[in-house]
A = this chain, B = another copy of it.
Amino acid sequence: MNSLSEIADIIKANHSFGVTYHVSPDGDACGSVMALVQGLRKLGKEAYIISRDLTPDNLGFLPLSMEIAGHNTKPKNNSDILIALDCGNEERLSCDISDFTGMIINVDHHITNDMYGRFNYVDSSSSATSEIIYSLLNELDIELDTSIAKCLYTGILTDTGSFRHSNTTSSTHRVVSNLLNYNINHTKIHSALFDNKPFSKLKLIGRVLDDCKLLFNGKLILLYVTKQMLNELNIDNMDTGDLVSYGLQVENTEVSVLLKETDCGVKVSLRSKNEFDVRNIAEKFGGGGHIKASGITFNDCTLSEVKDKILNEFAKELD
């Protein structure tokens, strides 16, 4: 691995940069890329965003969101440097590198990173790639401004779940303390990120919570999203994975399970509040993830079949 000052030296010595992130970019991917691109331009470099994706709706408030249109999918020239942010491996890049022979700089905070760059800086102790970019901009002697601070704040806010997750450190808050000196309206950023549900999503949350079940002496909450609910609310295509987290808001629960009926079967999301290892359950059905957040896809099964299978496994550990 390289040091951040080595990464800074390579950047100083070159002129043109394509900057990309992982597919389906989130707040940290967009925030870190936009902050770096703005910083590079302040240094007089040519810098452009490479993205197969459009800006997600809730990130449209970010300053360079108009530059993400899904058109720039490749580095412009093989002499350019490709900087990949927040992306653990080549396969997930939102960038076509099939005929790229130039140099890749890989900067990330994920613990699993393939080190696919010619230069690599991966710091899993950072809460977000945006926290690393804050340090990189310092290393490059680039003065921050409101627009850059807004991007970095958004990235950190997204990946720390509003400073809640265990990746939030003393250093994270120190960085944010500095960002708030650049006159950003952090309340509006929270609102843009978190208060932008379609009304139908609020109704769906209502329906799902109204129907949820408390099982195993209160240790497990079971939530359903059925095709009928989606039809009745005219919901065609919506991310509903976050609904599972409502189950964890209940006192004394350990696990929340969301079953979602899809056209091909059932998608299961599992979340754990504390020590319970839901990945262990997911892996028994060919799923995977993390200890506290895992998922499984069942093809050609009904909701009721999947419910029985899953609950049987949980019964062994919770009953």
How far does the alpha carbon of A158 sit from the alpha carbon of B75 in the complex, in Å? 46
Structural contact, B211 and A186, CB atoms closer than 8 A: no
How many copies are assembled? Answer: 2
Structural contact, A164 and B180, CB atoms closer than 8 A: no
Collect the chain B residues with CB atoms within 8 Å of residue A194's CB.
249
Contact of A176 among B162, B173, B186, B191 (CB under 8 A): B173
Structural contact, B198 and A202, CB atoms closer than 8 A: no
Contact of A180 among B173, B180, B191, B198 (CB under 8 A): B173
> Does any Cβ of B come within 8 Å of A166's Cβ?
yes
Collect the chain B residues with CB atoms within 8 Å of residue A190's CB.
164
Categorize the interface residue count of chain A: 35 or more
Q: A206-B205, A209-B203, A212-B203 are in contact. Are A195 and B162 (CB under 8 A)?
A: no
Structural contact, A273 and B210, CB atoms closer than 8 A: no
Contact of A250 among B164, B195, B212, B273 (CB under 8 A): B195
Interface 0/1 of A179-199, CB less than 8 Å to B: 011000011001100111111
How far does the alpha carbon of A207 sit from the alpha carbon of B248 in the complex, in Å? 18
Collect the chain B residues with CB atoms within 8 Å of residue A300's CB.
none
> Does any Cβ of B come within 8 Å of A163's Cβ?
yes
How far does the alpha carbon of A171 sit from the alpha carbon of B178 in the complex, in Å? 9
Residue of B nearest to A248 (CB): B195
How far does the alpha carbon of A273 sit from the alpha carbon of B180 in the complex, in Å? 21
> Does any Cβ of B come within 8 Å of A87's Cβ?
no
Residue of B nearest to A160 (CB): B163
Q: A197-B249, A248-B195 are in contact. Are A178 and B170 (CB under 8 A)?
A: yes
> Does any Cβ of B come within 8 Å of A56's Cβ?
no
* A213-253 interface with B by 8 A CB criterion: 214, 218, 221, 246-251
- A residues near B (Cβ < 8 Å) are 162-166, 168-174, 176-178, 180-181, 186-187, 190-191, 194-199, 201-203, 205-212, 214, 218, 221, 246-251, 273-274
- 10 closest A-B pairs by beta carbon, nearest first, are A206-B209, A206-B210, A173-B177, A170-B180, A174-B177, A196-B251, A164-B190, A173-B176, A173-B173, A162-B162
